[in-house]
Chains A and B, each alone.
Chain A
Amino acid sequence: MSDDAHNNDSHHNLMVDNKKLFMWLFLGSDCMFFGTMISTHLIYRKLYPESFDPTSLFSLELTSFSTFILLMSSFLMALAVSAMHKSDIKSFRRNTLGVIFFGLIFLACQVYEFTEFVHEGLTLKSGTFGSTFFMLTGTHGVHVAIGLFWLTCMYFYSFTGKMDPHESAIDVEVAGLYWHFVDIVWIIIFTVIYLIEFIK
């Protein structure tokens, strides 16, 4: 067996690219990570419902806007992956830049929201609600920031001339999977942490 054939096999042991398989496994484990943080928040809300009323603090309009922005960034990410499969590097750059722009808007909204909360007296140390809320949304924010860094690196790398559309398509797809995951986690956070608080 030649070296090339051996390398090819090592990338497709299960008829699936190993990078993709590992990313899906990582996302599965990240589900457990977020699952525990979401349950911690819900349990403390259930045990101490009277400790804090977040409805006066939350701005549902702002959070809905953030959710819309993140969903649209996911849409652009799907287009970027599709463009890479068509070897259309210009379209890939355009869509990736859109994802980065939307991601930055999302982070800016989160920073604005956190700043407002801290001014109103809700901090990491102010009680169980503050601790679990900032831990959960903050960890999600860190995930978004990592995704943005990854996509920005990929965007600039595409200008070096070393990015072969055929070979790099899988790398873009893996980065896309991570970005979409960040989006689906936010879909759950938006409903469970924000919307449900407003039900009377």
Chain B
Amino acid sequence: MPDTLSTSNADHSGEEQKYHAFINLALVLAAITGIELVLVYLPINGTFIFATLVSLSLFKFFSVIAWFMHLLYDKLILTLAFVTGLAIASGTVVALMFIMDRGFVDFEAISAF
């Protein structure tokens, strides 16, 4: 019985820690969304804004996966299951963006249809 109690207490203390992590993350995500909105209106270098937006977006993306989706606390196989799909998807996006360049596309052939 004491063992069960201590395990239960440990579980609850773990959930309590996660609760604080969730609140902190929610505040950070809300702040980042506000920063993104302001950033696009600033009269600064477009490439810098683009890089910052992509970085902030990726930070939000992976933070939600790691903390809210519990991947940080879960088994490695779940990470592998998801990352495989994500890697194929991102690879496809990057490859298509390179292949479908204006220089490589025959616009006359497209407009013939």
Contacts and interface: CB of A to CB of B under 8 A. Distances in A.
Given A82-B19, A85-B15, A180 B81 contact: no
A46 B100 CA distance: 8
A24 B78 contact: yes
Contacts of B105: 47
A64 B37 contact: yes
Contacts, number: 148
Given A15-B75, A34-B89, A28 B81 contact: yes
Interface stretch (A35-43, A109-117, A130-138): A35-43
Interface in B31-69: 33-34, 36-37, 40-41, 43, 46, 49-50, 53-54, 56-57, 60-61, 64-65, 67-69
Contact of B40 (A32, A43, A199): A199
Interface residues of A, number: 55
B41 A198 contact: yes
Given A31-B86, A71-B26, A199-B49, A39 B67 contact: no
25 contacts: A16-B75, A20-B78, A24-B82, A27-B85, A28-B82, A28-B84, A39-B93, A43-B97, A47-B100, A64-B34, A67-B33, A68-B33, A71-B30, A74-B64, A74-B68, A75-B22, A75-B68, A79-B22, A82-B19, A86-B11, A86-B15, A180-B64, A181-B69, A191-B36, A199-B49
Query: What 4 A-B pairs are tightest by C-beta distance, nearest first?
Result: A28-B85, A35-B89, A75-B26, A191-B57
Interface of B: 11-12, 15, 18-19, 22-23, 25-26, 29-30, 33-34, 36-37, 40-41, 43, 46, 49-50, 53-54, 56-57, 60-61, 64-65, 67-70, 74-75, 77-78, 81-86, 88-90, 92-93, 96-97, 100-102, 105, 107
